[in-house]
Amino acid sequence: MATRNELIKKRYFVFFVLPLLAAFTVGFIIPFIEGVWLSFCRFTVIDNASFTGIKNYISAFGDKGFRAALWFTVKTALVMVLLINTAGFVFAVILTREIKGTAVFRTVLFMPNLIGGIVLGYIWQIIINYVLSVVGAPLLALNSTAGYWGIIILMCWQQIGYVMIIYIAALQSIPDEMSEAAQIDGATYLQTLFKIKLPMLFSSIMICVFITLTNAFKLFDQNLALTSGEPAHATEMLALNIYNNFYARPGLMWRGIGQAKAVIFCIIVVMIACAQFRLTKEKDGEYNE
C-alpha cells in the first residue's frame, strides 16, 4: 500500500490531527489521568487529594453490591445490544425501500433521542406501572423482573432510532449498481440483502454494536429515573452503583472507591471491546491490515 503513504505526507499531521489531539488532551486525556490518580486517593475535591494506595480497589472488590451491579449490567447489555441492532437494522432496511410515509416513520423512530433520558425514564415508569397494575403484577419498585425488562424496553425504544440512522446512511452509500447487478444475475431481494449488502455493512454493524455496547454499560439516567435500582439494588447498573457511592454514604473514602470502581469498569469494557475487535479483524481483514 505504498500509494497511501504518498497520498498524504506525514507532515500534514499538524494540520489534520494536531488540533483535535490538542482538544482531546484537554477534554479527555488530562481529566482521565487525573481521574485514575483519584482512584488511589481520598479526596473532597481534587486539590486536597491524599494518596492511599490500593485501599479503594480492595474495598471496591469487596463490595457485594458492585459485583451484583456488574452482573446485572452484563445481563442487560447483551440483550439490549442484540435487540437494538436487530430491530434498528430491520427498520433501516424497511425504510430504505421507500415505502409510503418513509419520511414520517424515520422522524418518529428517531424522536425519543430528542428528549433527555431522565424525563423519558419518568414517563415510561408511569406507563409500565400502569400496565403492571392492570395485569395485577407487583409494581416496578417491587418487581425486579419488570425492572429488568423495563430498562431493556426503554433503551430499545430510545436507541433503535439512533442506530437506524447509522444503518440508513450506510445502506444508502452502497452503490445501486451492485444490487442491480446481483438482481440481473437472478438473486432474490433477500439474497441481495444478505449476500451483497450485509457484508458491505460490516463496518457499520461493528460501529453500532460498539456504540450500543458502550451506551449500555454507561447507562445511567434511564436507570435512575425508571427504577433507581429498586427493589433493594436489584436493578442497579454500574454507573448508578458508582454514583450511589458518591452520594449515599458520608465519608470521603467512598469518593475514591467510586473512582476505583469506574476504573475497574473501564478495564472490563476494554476487555470486551478487544474481544470484539479481534472478531472484527478475523472477518474484516481487508479493512484492518
**What is the footprint of other proteins within residues 38-77 (CB under 8 A)?**
38-39, 44-48
Considering the rule CB under 8 A, would residue 141 count as an interface residue with other proteins?
Answer: yes
Bridge partners for 42 per DSSP: 50
Residues 171-230 that bind other proteins (CB under 8 A): 172-177, 200, 203-204, 206-207, 210-211, 214, 217-218, 220, 228, 230
Instruction: Select from 59, 167, 155, 53 the least CA-distant residue to 106.
Output: 167
**Is 176 strand, coil or helix?**
helix
Is residue 135 a contact point for other proteins (CB under 8 A)?
no
> What are the backbone angles phi and psi of residue 25, rounded to the nearest 5°?
-60, -45
| Region from 75-83, 144-152, 190-198, 239-247 binding other proteins, contact rule CB under 8 A | 239-247
71-110 residues near other proteins, rule: CB under 8 A: 91, 94-97, 99-101, 103-110
**With respect to other proteins, which residue has the nearer C-beta, 84 or 161?**
161
Cα separation, 87 vs 162, whole angstroms: 11
- If you ran DSSP here, which 8-state letter would residue 51 be given? E
Given the complex with other proteins, which of 71 and 122 has the nearer CB atom?
122
- In this complex, which beta carbon is closest to other proteins, that of residue 13 or of residue 61? 13
CA dist list (Å): 276 to 117, 171, 213, 221, 251? 27, 22, 10, 26, 39
Residue 198 burial (CB count, 10 A): 13
Which one, of 46, 45, 41, lies nearest residue 56 by Cα?
A: 41
Asked whether position 34 contacts other proteins by CB under 8 A, the answer is: yes
Grid cell 442487560 — which residue? 76
How many residues bind to other proteins according to rule CB under 8 A? Answer: 131
Measured from the CB atom, the residue of 76 and 204 that comes closer to other proteins is 204
Q: Tell me the longest C-alpha to C-alpha distance in the chain.
A: 72
For the bound state, the minimum distance from the C-beta of residue 185 to other proteins, rounded and expressed in Å, comes to 18
SS (H, E, C) 67-101: HHHHHHHHHHHHHHHHHHHHHHHHHHHHHCCCCCC
Q: Which of 147, 152, 162, 212 binds other proteins (CB under 8 A)?
A: 162
CB of 35 to other proteins, least distance (A): 4
Smallest distance from the beta carbon of 82 to other proteins, in angstroms?
18
Task: Decide if residue 131 touches other proteins (CB under 8 A).
Answer: no
Q: Which of the ranges 67-75, 78-86, 144-152, 260-268 carries the binding residues for other proteins, by CB under 8 A?
A: 260-268
CB of 201 within 8 A of CB of 167? yes
Choices 70-78, 140-148, 190-198 (CB under 8 A): range interacting with other proteins? 140-148
